[in-house]
Structure 1
Amino acid sequence: MACDKKTSVHHSVVFNIPNTISWLRIVATALIVLFLYLKMNVLAFVLFLLASVSDCFDGYIARKTGQVTNLGKVLDQMSDKILITSVLVIFTEKGLTPGWLVVAMVFRDTLVSIVRIMASEGGKIVAANYLGKLKTVSQMVLVIGLFLQILGFSQLRFINSVLVYVTMFFTVLSGIVYIYQNREHLNR
């Protein structure tokens, strides 16, 4: 979840501490997927929790230490998308969540990425907005609920069904608002 605040930006640092945290979230995603396929669900869940919590720290550390980079602003958001979408694809394959949710998420993220690319061609890096952050939190909460369901908390099935629609709501709403707020970049 990228920073919305004005902070000095370094343009060329690939492996500072905050960016490394985001890179590690991507590596963790591969391990989570592997653990899920190996039915090592507890290990996958613990690693997902760690990866999700790391999302709170990369941007914070970047701002507090003056290590904000354009790459970091993009990498943080991309690592969230890779983490959440990868796990939800597996949960869809297992029949725990509907495929249309993943399709909607990928469609929304693709549109937002197109806007970001067009903005960057104009020399602007567009940070996530508040609704985008709520979208990410709702997606992470859904994934946590689904993990708990496969770990034996079957009573969460109804709550997870509701969370699917909450997640869909924030996914669609945040995409619409993001594109509307950045519509000037679509005319390039």
Structure 2
Amino acid sequence: MSDTAPETIATDPTLERLRRITMGITAGRLLAALLIGWLIYSGHMTLAFWLFVLAGLGALLEGAAALLFKTRTRLGGVLDGLADRLLPLLALVALTYKGLLPLWVLIPVLLRELVLALGQKLPESAGNDPWIREPRWLFHINIVTMDALAILFLLIQGPGFGVDLFILPTELAVVGLALASLLLAFLNRPKPEDEFLTGDQGKDA
């Protein structure tokens, strides 16, 4: 025990500093999401593009630190998920407002966010079981695809070396994944028979 105690004491301050750094990165990503939306609205597409790329790199660093050093706290996890959602969502809303992104792409995305917020996030935040549940892997695919669509538009409208050919397939992928998330979230909802079996197993144990 005496051999391991000094090592634990020595690593605690380092982990605490890493936690503060990762929280700072997450907070920066939240601010970046708001700023990117404003930059797109104001027509500063090149700045919005590079800030989006920087925020994406920050997400990779924060995720790597959380995976390798276990630095993510409960609050950090909530804020990280919020930043993941807000970054592409506000960019897509601003692009739609500017008339660059069709409304038929944005509506399923907003519908997915609204339904999941009411059916999953709000019950979980109140300590209750959600009545629907989006598969975690599908959440990540949705976010990556939305990020890709936002970056494509910003790349074309900003630096100007993007390819229009990829826009429509990515738009269709975003819409398809949003609808698939809603479908699987309802199919993945807790069922009464599952609760009954869980209760019986608990009594037997």
Matched, 1:117 2:159: no
Provide the aligned length of Structure 1 versus Structure 2.
171
Separation in 2, partners of 1:106, 1:70 = 26
3-state secondary structure, aligned to 1:16:
helix
Of 17, 21, 39, 2:21 maps to 17
TM-score calculated relative to the size of structure 2: 0.71
Counterpart residue number, 1:145: 152
**Is the contact made by 2:116 and 2:134 (CA closer than 8 Å) also made in structure 1?**
no
1:47 CA drift (Å): 0.3
Q: Give the alignment of 1:1-188 within 5 angstroms.
A: 16-114=20-118, 115-122=120-127, 129-151=136-158, 152-153=160-161, 156-183=163-190
3-state secondary structure, aligned to 1:53:
helix
User: Residues 18 and 128 (structure 1 numbering): CA distance in 2 closer, same or farther, change over 3 Å?
Assistant: farther
Q: Percent identity?
A: 25
Deviation sequence 1:9-39 (CA, Å, 0-9, x none): xxxxxx7332322211111122223322333
Separation in 2, partners of 1:182, 1:122 = 16
The gaps in structure 2 that reach 5 residues or longer are 1-18, 196-205
Deviation sequence 1:138-172 (CA, Å, 0-9, x none): 11111111112213347x33320121001111122
1:42 CA drift (Å): 1.3
Separation in 2, partners of 1:180, 1:58 = 32
Amino acid at match of 2:123: M
User: Residues 128 and 51 (structure 1 numbering): CA distance in 2 closer, same or farther, change over 3 Å?
Assistant: farther
* Root mean square deviation of aligned Cα: 2.7
**Is the contact made by 1:18 and 1:58 (CA closer than 8 Å) also made in structure 2?**
yes
The gaps in structure 1 that reach 5 residues or longer are 1-14
